[in-house]
Structure 1
Amino acid sequence: MEDARIWSFEESLWTADAEHYRASIDDECLMVLPQPPFVMSGQQAVEAVSSTPRWSSVELSERQVKRPQEGLIVIAYHARAEREGVQPYEAHCTSVYRRLAHEEWRVVQHQQTPRLMAHPKA
């Protein structure tokens, strides 16, 4: 998968509907997210995402792509996601994709570390 397609795919995981998310996450996926239960399997993550509003926009920066072996892609980036009525969310993230067949990829790992916002001094 070429870099432009990787980033388009990753952005879609933040903004697309639950059905797209369900089709993109491997059953064997493990995720670490900043909310209980924190560590989730693929199906737990799909269920959690299905019951939460999707982000209306996301900007991915500090992008890095590694291909440690054929059929495996590792990415890292900074995300800034927004939707109406809530504070923007920022996190440093990683995802790992594995190829199942020609042009068919699934997420097998995802992790988010929320960015700590500096508090103004009183």
Structure 2
Amino acid sequence: MDADELLDLEHQGWQSLCDGTGADFYGSVMTEDGVMVLAHGEVFDRRAVVASLDAAPPWRTYEITDERLIELGPRDAILVYTGRAYRDGDEPAFVALMSSVYTRQGDAWRLALYQQTPVPGAA
């Protein structure tokens, strides 16, 4: 299993959230039954993720640190990291522990579950 490949995929996702193409990216990379468990306490299925990202303001920049890969088998893995993202203006950074569960479908990695846990006072 190539940790760099999954980390690169995670960077592609964050970059899409910065350049306004997040709906397209996550619409194509999520599994049909994939979900996102978001910091505001809601669970979005793939359709809701795409709809919400169409209307979401872009992030200005982001950082991924403390990443680690948990291999569940030859076709499944979890990427866990600290994410820090910034929007324009004086808005504080969004800092959360993040987990992305990937599964290999055919020759592509697909996102089955993404989860955010905010880090209080870490802006």
TM bracket, shorter-chain basis: 0.7 to 0.9
Instruction: Say whether residues 1:51 and 2:58 are aligned partners.
Output: no
Residue in 2 that maps onto 1:70: 74
Q: Deviations over 1:33-68 (max 9, x none)?
A: 0226x1121211221122102323221111110111
Residue in 1 that maps onto 2:45: 41
Ranges of 4+ aligned residues in structure 1 off by more than 4 Å: none
Alignment check: 8 A CA contact 2:7 2:79 kept = no
Structure 1 residue 77, shift from structure 2 partner: 0.6
Residue in 1 that maps onto 2:99: 94
Residue in 1 that maps onto 2:84: 80
More helix by share: 2
Gaps of 5+ in 1: none
Gaps of 5+ in 2: none
- Structure 1 distance, partners of 2:31, 2:52, is 15
Residue 35 of structure 1: SS of its match in structure 2? coil
Residue correspondences, number: 117
TM-score by length of 2: 0.84
Alignment check: 8 A CA contact 2:24 2:50 kept = no
Residue in 1 that maps onto 2:14: 14
Residue in 2 that maps onto 1:106: 110
Structure 1 residue 115, shift from structure 2 partner: 1.1
- Structure 2 distance, partners of 1:66, 1:24, is 19
Q: Which amino acid aligns with 1:97?
A: Y
Residue in 1 that maps onto 2:34: 29
Percent identity between matched residues is 26
Change (3 A) 1:21 1:54: farther
Larger Cα-atom Rg: 1
* Cα root mean square deviation, aligned: 1.9
Alignment check: 8 A CA contact 2:86 2:93 kept = yes
Q: Which amino acid aligns with 2:96?
A: A
Q: Which amino acid aligns with 2:48?
A: Q
Residue 117 of structure 1: SS of its match in structure 2? coil
